[in-house]
Structure 1
């Protein structure tokens, strides 16, 4: 049985705060199975956007785990906001979580797969 998106997001927020960082749910999506996008902001202005990994990235031994891929990174926050608006128009059930990771690197908070 897969964990609901609502529960998974709550756990992510707790992990971020536990690592000394900050997290906020910018947009709530579908409780059961909404896609999750994570916007990671660094303390020096750098921004990275993570989205759901392609289905080919999933491991048949762990079918319930959520994997992410780095979609883009840089320092132009407006470009990331525009991309998220486009994603929201395509799928209104998405979740957008904004984090500042604190002491833990993002890849310890999310299961990030290389493309």
Structure 2
């Protein structure tokens, strides 16, 4: 059974507020479809990109955050190429950059909310 889907713009707003409330900074790099656009997050700590996560739908109907660019997040050129390919394939995709202290803890919390 598929879970009800949270509108993408609501999820984006919640992530930005959460980062702000923890003293971090969040920016929308690309605005997607407000209802059903995929959401990709560049997670950084003190300006250093650590991970790129995307909220993906699994066959069983659950949504989960998954790492989509392992080991290459710090390589700016690789990040740009990856995002360009993804946006070409999915122009309705949201791209956020979230810079927050304890980025790994924040990523773990994101994975809990799905």
Shorter-chain TM-score bucket reads 0.7 to 0.9
How many positions carry a matched residue from both structures? Answer: 106
Contact 1:46/1:73 (CA < 8 Å) preserved in 2?
no
Match of 1:70 in 2: 67
Q: For structure 1, list consecutive stretches of 5 or more residues without a partner in the other structure.
A: 60-65
Which one has more relative contact order, counting CA pairs under 8 Å at least 6 apart?
A: 1
Give the 3 Å change call, closer, same or farther, for CA 87–7 of structure 1 in structure 2.
same
**Where does residue 100 of structure 1 map in the other structure?**
99
| TM-score, normalised by the number of residues in structure 1 | 0.78
Specify the alignment match of 2:84 in structure 1.
85
Which runs of 5 or more structure 2 residues have no equivalent in the other structure?
none
- Let me know the Cα RMSD of the aligned residues: 2.2
Once the two structures are superposed, the pairs formed by residues 12-27 of structure 1 within 5 Å of their partners are: 12-27=15-30
Normalising to structure 2: TM-score of the pair? 0.79
CA contact (8 A) 2:26 2:96 kept: yes
The 3 A distance-change label for structure 1 pair 103 and 23 is same
Alpha-carbon offset, residue 77 of structure 1: 1.7
